[in-house]
C-alpha cells in the first residue's frame, strides 16, 4: 500500500509523509523572510503550497504519464447526444405508430369508406389505437432497435424495426385466433403497414438530420485507433472517408515496444500518424483512452490476441465501444458469418452470388422499373429531343461503344450533350484534363452545348440508358460502364468490375460522381460487385434521387 500525505491548516506534514522535515524547514525559512520583510515595510513573499494545484491528482497523473497513486474513479465514456438521439427515436416511433393506428381508426369508423359490416362498438378499437403505440415501442425495444450501435448508420436499424413489426403482427394474429376475437381486418390492414412505414420514414428523416450535423462536426464519436503502422494509418484514412459515419479520430496507439512514442518520451513529443497524434502503445491503452476521452476504440486485426483480450477486460463497464477491423476490406453484409471452430470464432466469407435466383429477380426488377420509367417519361423524352435538335446540329441521341458484363461490348444510348465534333476536339483538350487515372474530366468543357449543360446538371442525358436496361445490356444499378480504351488499360483486379452488368446508377453516382478520383471510383465499383443485393439496389436507387437533386459532381 502506498502511504498518502495529509496536512493540517499550518501545512505541517502528517503521518505517512516521507518528506515532512524538508517541507517544514522550507516553510520556516519563508516565514523568517516574510517577518524581516514586514519589518522593512516590504510586501511578504507568497509561496504556493507545495501540493496546491488547479488540477486533480488523476489529471496530473495522466498529463505526466505517471501512474496515479490512490483510488481512481473508473472511466466512463460520455456521449450525451447518443442518449438524446435514442430518446428522440422512441418519441418518433411512438408518434408514427399513433398516426398509423389513428389513420386506421379514422378510415374504419370515420365514415370515409362505407363497409358492409360494422362492429357493434368502436370502443375496443379506440383502446387498441391508443394502446398499440406503447406495445409498438416495447416490441422495437425487445428487438434491440434502440441500441446506440444500431442507430444512425447501416441497414441493421431498419431491419430491426421490420422484424419487430412482423413479430408483433404475427403475435396479434395468433392472439386474435386463440381468443376467437373478431377484429376488423380492414383496421389491421391499415394500422400495421402504416405504423411500419411511418416509423421507417421517421428513422430515415432523423438519420438524414444526424448526417447533416456530422458533416458540420457535431454528434461525433471520439475514436482511438489501435494498430501497427500501416494498418493503423489505413483505419485513420477509412474513418476520414465518410464524414457521415461520425468518426473523429483523436489519437493512435501503436503496437510497438514502449519508449518509442511521445507518451513515454517527452523529448519525442509531436509524433503523429497521418496527422493524428500518437498517444501511446497498446500496453497503455486505458491511459490513452482517459487522456483522449475516447468513446470508441478501433483495433486493427494485426494486434496480438493476448493484448486484445487484456484490453477488452480493462474496458469492461466503461461504455467504450470496441471495434475490431477485419483484414478483408470492402466485404460486408450477408457474406460474413461467425463460425466457431474448436472454440475459436472465425469469419466465414461466402462467395459473391453472381448468378441464380437472385440474379433472375434482379433482371425482372430492372426491366419492370425501366419499362415504367420509359412510359412515365415519354413526354419528357419528346421535349428533350426537340430541345437538342433545335439548339445544335446533329442527332438527339448519342451512341457509344461500351464494355459490359464479361467484357462484351454493347452500344450505350444517351441524349447528346456535346457538339458533333467533340471526339475530334478531345486531343487538343488533353492538357486541360482535371481527372485522374483513365478518365477525362473537365468542369467547363467547351464541347458541351447549352442544352447539354442543363441535361448533365440534372442527369437527364442518361435517361435513354433505360432502353439499355430493357434490352439486357445494362442494369439499373451497377458499376460505371467503361470505354474499351479504359478496359485495355485495366490492372488485373479492376477487371472484377466486369463480373456484373454496368448500371445507370451505382455507388459512384451517390458518392460524388465526377468529383471522385479514379481509385475511389474503382473501389466503390468493386465494393458493389462484392456485396450486391436487391436491398442494396433499392437503397442506391432511393439515394440516387437525392444525389440528382443535389447535383453534386454533375458536369
Determine the average pLDDT of the residues in 165-171.
Answer: 92
Q: Is the pLDDT of residue 24 over 90?
A: no
- Contact between residue 176 and residue 124 where contact means Cβ atoms under 8 Å apart: no
Residue 163 pLDDT:
93
In this predicted model, which residue has the larger pLDDT, 402 or 507? 402
- Average pLDDT of 532-554? 81
Q: Summarize the confidence of residues 186-215 as an average pLDDT.
A: 90
Mean of per-residue pLDDT scores for the chain: 78
Q: Which residues contact 455 (CB under 8 A, 6 or more apart)?
A: 384, 415, 417, 461
212, pLDDT greater than 80? yes
pLDDT at 106: 85
The pLDDT, as a whole number, for residue 60 is 39
Q: When comparing pLDDT for 334 and 264, which is higher? A: 334
Q: Please report which confidence band the pLDDT of residue 536 belongs to, taking 50, 70 and 90 as the band edges.
A: confident
Q: Which residues contact 325 (CB under 8 A, 6 or more apart)?
A: 227, 231, 235, 298, 299, 300, 301
43-52, 308-317, 454-463, 544-553: least confident range: 43-52
Task: Tell me the mean pLDDT in the region 234-242.
Answer: 82
Specify the range with the lowest mean pLDDT, choosing from 47-61, 90-104, 376-390, 461-475: 47-61
Query: What nine digits make up the cell of 499?
Result: 463480373
Cell numbers 362492429 correspond to what residue? 119
The mean per-residue pLDDT over the stretch 416-420 comes to 89
What stretch of H or E contains 223? strand 221-227
pLDDT tier for residue 262 given thresholds of 50, 70 and 90: very low
Residue 156 has a pLDDT of: 84
- 483/72: higher pLDDT: 483
Give percent helix, percent strand, percent coil of the chain, each to the nearest 5. Answer: 50, 10, 35
Q: What is the pLDDT of residue 57?
A: 41
**Reported confidence tier of residue 140, pLDDT bands at 50, 70, 90:** very high
The pLDDT confidence band at residue 503, using thresholds 50, 70 and 90, is very high
pLDDT over 70 (residue 49): no
Per-residue pLDDT reduced to its tens digit, 65-120: 444 444 567 777 778 888 999 999 999 999 999 999 999 888 877 666 655 556 55
Does residue 362 have a pLDDT over 50? yes
User: From residue 208, how far is each of 215, 239, 289, 356, 388 by CA, in Å?
Assistant: 11, 19, 30, 35, 37
pLDDT for the residue numbered 272: 63
Q: What cell does 249 get?
A: 479520430
Summarize the confidence of residues 206-229 as an average pLDDT. Answer: 88
Amino acid 47: pLDDT = 46
So what's the pLDDT on residue 194? 93
Contact at 8 Å (CB) between 261 and 280?
Answer: yes
Q: Which of 132 and 301 is assigned the larger pLDDT?
A: 132
Q: State mean pLDDT over 331-353.
A: 70
Q: What is the pLDDT of residue 38?
A: 53
Task: Give the per-residue pLDDT at 431.
Answer: 64
CB atoms within 10 A of CB 204: 13
pLDDT at residue number 13: 39
Is a pLDDT exceeding 60 seen at residue 54?
Answer: no
Is the pLDDT at 319 greater than 50, yes or no?
yes
Q: Give CA–CA dist 381/464, Å, rounded.
A: 8
Q: What value does the mean pLDDT take over residues 267-276?
A: 61
Q: Which of 115-124, 134-143, 215-224, 384-393 has the lowest mean pLDDT?
A: 115-124
Model pLDDT, residue 43: 59
Place of cell 451512341: 399
Q: How far is CA 364 from the centre of its chain?
A: 30
Residue range 332-348: mean pLDDT, rounded: 70
pLDDT digits (tens, 9 = 90+) for 285-317: 888 888 888 989 988 776 777 777 777 787 887
Residue with the bigger pLDDT between 19 and 205: it is 205
Q: Which of 56, 66, 125, 137 is nearest to 96 (CA)?
A: 137
- The pLDDT, as a whole number, for residue 53 is 35
Residue 243 is predicted with a pLDDT of: 86
The predicted pLDDT at position 330 comes to: 63
The yes-or-no verdict on residue 22 having pLDDT over 70 is no
Going by the DSSP 8-state scheme, the letter that residue 13 receives in this structure is B
357-376 and 378-391 helices, crossing angle to 10°: 60
- pLDDT tier, 41 (very low <50, low <70, confident <90, very high otherwise): low
Q: What is the mean pLDDT of residues 237-264?
A: 73
Amino acid at each position: 500500500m502506498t502511504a498518502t500525505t495529509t496536512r493540517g491548516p499550518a501545512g505541517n506534514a502528517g503521518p505517512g509523509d516521507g518528506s515532512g522535515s524538508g517541507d517544514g524547514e522550507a516553510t520556516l525559512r519563508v516565514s523568517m523572510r516574510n517577518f524581516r520583510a514586514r519589518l522593512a515595510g516590504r510586501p511578504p513573499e507568497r509561496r504556493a503550497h507545495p501540493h496546491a494545484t488547479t488540477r486533480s491528482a488523476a489529471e496530473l497523473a495522466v498529463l505526466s504519464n505517471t501512474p496515479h497513486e490512490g483510488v481512481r474513479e473508473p472511466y466512463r465514456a460520455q456521449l450525451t447526444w447518443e442518449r438524446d438521439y435514442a430518446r428522440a427515436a422512441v418519441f418518433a416511433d411512438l408518434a408514427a405508430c399513433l398516426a398509423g393506428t389513428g389513420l386506421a381508426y379514422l378510415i374504419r369508423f370515420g365514415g370515409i369508406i362505407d363497409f358492409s359490416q360494422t362492429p357493434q362498438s368502436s370502443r375496443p378499437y379506440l383502446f387498441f389505437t391508443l394502446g398499440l403505440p406503447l406495445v409498438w415501442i416495447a416490441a422495437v425495444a425487445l428487438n434491440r432497435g434502440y441500441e446506440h450501435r444500431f442507430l444512425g448508420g447501416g441497414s441493421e436499424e431498419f431491419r430491426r424495426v421490420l422484424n419487430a413489426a412482423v413479430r408483433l403482427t404475427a403475435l396479434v394474429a395468433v392472439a386474435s385466433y386463440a381468443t376467437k376475437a373478431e377484429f376488423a381486418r380492414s383496421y389491421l390492414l391499415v394500422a400495421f403497414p402504416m405504423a411500419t412505414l411511418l416509423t421507417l420514414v421517421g428513422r430515415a428523416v432523423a438519420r438524414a438530420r444526424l448526417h447533416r450535423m456530422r458533416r458540420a462536426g457535431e454528434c461525433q464519436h471520439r475514436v482511438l485507433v489501435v494498430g501497427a503502422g500501416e494498418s493503423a494509418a489505413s483505419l485513420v484514412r477509412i474513418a476520414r472517408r465518410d464524414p457521415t459515419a461520425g468518426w473523429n479520430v483523436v489519437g493512435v496507439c501503436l503496437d510497438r515496444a514502449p519508449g518509442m512514442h511521445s507518451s513515454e518520451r517527452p523529448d519525442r513529443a509531436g509524433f503523429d500518424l497521418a496527422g493524428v497524434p500518437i498517444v501511446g502503445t497498446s500496453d497503455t491503452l486505458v491511459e490513452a483512452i482517459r487522456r483522449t476521452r475516447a468513446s470508441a476504440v478501433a483495433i486493427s486485426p494485426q494486434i496480438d490476441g493476448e493484448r486484445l483480450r487484456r484490453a477488452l477486460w480493462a474496458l469492461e463497464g466503461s461504455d467504450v465501444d470496441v471495434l475490431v477491423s477485419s483484414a478483408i476490406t470492402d466485404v460486408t453484409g450477408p457474406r460474413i458469418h461467425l463460425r466457431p471452430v474448436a472454440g475459436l470464432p472465425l469469419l466465414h466469407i461466402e462467395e459473391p452470388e453472381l448468378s441464380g435466383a437472385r440474379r433472375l429477380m434482379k433482371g425482372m426488377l430492372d426491366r419492370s422499373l425501366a419499362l415504367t420509367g420509359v412510359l412515365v417519361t415519354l413526354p419528357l423524352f419528346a421535349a428533350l429531343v426537340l430541345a437538342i435538335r433545335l439548339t445544335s446540329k446533329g442527332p438527339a441521341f448519342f451512341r457509344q461503344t461500351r464494355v459490359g458484363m464479361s467484357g462484351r461490348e454493347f452500344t450505350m444510348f444517351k441524349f447528346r450533350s456535346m457538339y458533333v465534333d467533340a471526339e475530334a476536339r478531345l486531343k487538343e483538350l488533353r492538357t486541360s484534363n482535371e481527372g485522374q487515372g483513365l478518365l477525362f474530366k473537365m468542369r467547363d468543357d467547351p464541347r458541351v452545348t447549352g442544352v447539354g449543360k442543363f441535361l448533365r446538371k440534372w442527369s437527364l442525358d442518361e435517361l435513354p440508358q433505360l432502353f439499355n436496361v430493357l434490352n439486357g445490356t445494362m442494369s439499373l444499378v451497377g458499376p460505371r460502364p467503361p470505354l474499351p480504351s479504359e478496359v485495355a488499360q485495366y490492372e488485373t483486379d479492376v477487371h472484377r468490375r466486369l463480373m456484373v452488368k454496368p448500371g445507370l446508377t451505382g455507388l459512384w453516382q451517390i458518392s460524388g460522381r465526377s468529383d471522385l478520383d479514379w481509385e475511389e471510383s474503382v473501389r466503390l465499383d468493386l465494393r458493389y460487385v462484392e456485396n450486391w443485393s436487391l436491398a442494396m439496389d433499392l437503397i442506391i436507387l432511393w439515394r440516387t434521387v437525392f444525389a440528382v437533386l443535389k447535383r453534386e459532381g454533375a458536369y
